[in-house]
Amino acid sequence: MKHLFYFIFVASILISCTKQVDTSGIATPTTPTTGSTVAPSIRFFNVMDYGNDTVLINTASTGALARYYPTAYLKGVIGSNNIQVIFGGNTVVNVNVNLLAGSSYSCFIYRVGYDWKVSVVADDLSTPTAGNTKVRVLDFRTQAYFSYINVHFSSPGNLSLDYTYRNFLDHLSFDTYTVFKTITAGTYTITLSNSSTGATLKTVSNVVFASTKIYSVILMTQASQTAADALNNIQVDVEQHY
């Protein structure tokens, strides 16, 4: 089967937008095929606000990768896969990652200081039962990394979901944070608060988590802001996996 790649082109007017929440999902949501001999699938996210970068997976380009506009799931190979990130004409990441047959992954591109990195997270895309949805929270707040926050999901008539004491890249230390949690499908309000003081930092309303769908809630900050300012200006991106 030919390897299909989703080429992303974002016009300058879109790049200038201050989009905070995307609940629309990828352009053509699909569930990657699974099986012991099926090639793994991986999609890429740019969680920094330095501008577009380009990803090469096994030398094949994804095209320009903008913040808030991840790729679709792309085919890798079973075993070692080479991932390169190009920014400003320079190769800023060149790593090999092992991907398992029939598995799906998300790869997040971020920068700490001048050091570019990738975080590859396994995606369990088993379909939720009718009336339910699955969500997880991933923290990429590079400018407010030392501040712990709570994340509260609430919806009238439904049980709430809480994450407490979340911090930058904590999914690397606690892999349970990469697991999608099942909640009742519906319209939710996401509230971020300071774990130490309880003060509300951000409220995002009318976030729809649809039945049988799967989502990542990604927390980000602006690179140009101080840690204190960034804590009070956390950016929330809701991305549908299929």
Task: Examine residue 11 and state whether it is found in any structural domain, yes or no.
Answer: no
Positive or negative CA dihedral for 193, 211, 185, 121? negative
Structure-block tokens of residue 102: 């029939």
Do residue 117 and residue 136 come from a single domain? no
pLDDT of 31 reads: 59
Q: Is the pLDDT reported for residue 66 higher than 70?
A: yes
How open is the CA angle 19-201-226, to the nearest 5 degrees? 75
pLDDT digits (tens, 9 = 90+) for 182-204: 999 999 999 999 999 999 999 99
Tell me which residue of 21, 28, 12, 114 sits closest to 66, measured CA to CA.
12
pLDDT of 101 reads: 96
Q: What CA–CA distance (Å, rounded) separates 180 from 104?
A: 13
Query: CB of 161 within 8 A of CB of 155?
Result: no
Structure-block tokens of residue 129: 């039962």
Q: Is the pLDDT reported for residue 2 higher than 60?
A: no
The CATH number that applies at residue 197 is 2.60.40.1120
Structure-block tokens of residue 50: 């330095």
More reliable by pLDDT, 113 or 150: 150
Q: Is the pLDDT reported for residue 35 higher than 90?
A: no
pLDDT of 11 reads: 34
Confidence of residue 28 (pLDDT cuts 50, 70, 90): very low
More reliable by pLDDT, 13 or 103: 103
Do residue 103 and residue 187 come from a single domain? no
What mean pLDDT do residues 160-169 have?
Answer: 97
Contacts of 211 (CB under 8 A, 6+ apart): 128, 130, 131, 132, 133, 185
Structure-block tokens of residue 234: 């956390």
pLDDT of 24 reads: 39
The CATH number that applies at residue 66 is 2.60.40
Percent of the chain with pLDDT over 90: 81
What is the DSSP secondary structure assignment for residue 126, as one 8-state letter? P
Do residue 167 and residue 91 come from a single domain? no
Query: CB of 53 within 8 A of CB of 46?
Result: yes
Do residue 201 and residue 106 come from a single domain? no
Q: Is the pLDDT reported for residue 5 higher than 60?
A: no
Average pLDDT score, the chain: 88
Domain limit, last residue, from 90, 123, 156: 123
Do residue 168 and residue 215 come from a single domain? yes
Do residue 214 and residue 136 come from a single domain? yes
Task: Examine residue 236 and state whether it is found in any structural domain, yes or no.
Answer: yes
pLDDT of 33 reads: 64
More reliable by pLDDT, 107 or 144: 107
Do residue 136 and residue 119 come from a single domain? no
Total domains, the chain: 2
Do residue 119 and residue 154 come from a single domain? no
Task: Examine residue 32 and state whether it is found in any structural domain, yes or no.
Answer: yes
What mean pLDDT do residues 170-179 have?
Answer: 96
pLDDT of 22 reads: 46
Q: What CA–CA distance (Å, rounded) separates 176 from 171?
A: 7
Task: Examine residue 168 and state whether it is found in any structural domain, yes or no.
Answer: yes
pLDDT of 14 reads: 35
pLDDT digits (tens, 9 = 90+) for 203-242: 999 999 999 999 999 999 999 898 889 999 999 999 999 8
Q: What CA–CA distance (Å, rounded) separates 167 from 113?
A: 17
Task: Examine residue 1 and state whether it is found in any structural domain, yes or no.
Answer: no
Task: Examine residue 167 and state whether it is found in any structural domain, yes or no.
Answer: yes
Domain limit, last residue, from 123, 143, 177: 123
Widest CA span in the chain: 54
How many CA atoms are closer than 13 Å to the CA of 119, on its beta-carbon side? 22
Domain limit, last residue, from 123, 153, 181: 123
pLDDT of 124 reads: 96
Q: What CA–CA distance (Å, rounded) separates 53 from 61?
A: 11
Provide the residue range defining the domain that includes 216: 132-240
Percent of the chain with pLDDT over 70: 86
Residue type, 18: T
pLDDT of 9 reads: 32
Q: Is the pLDDT reported for residue 18 higher than 60?
A: no
Strand ranges inside 67-143, DSSP E:
74-75, 79-87, 90-99, 104-112, 115-123, 132-140
Instruction: Sort 144 into a burial class: Cβ within 10 Å, 0-12 / 13-18 / 19+.
Output: buried
Do residue 149 and residue 116 come from a single domain? no
Task: Examine residue 205 and state whether it is found in any structural domain, yes or no.
Answer: yes
Q: Is the pLDDT reported for residue 3 higher than 90?
A: no
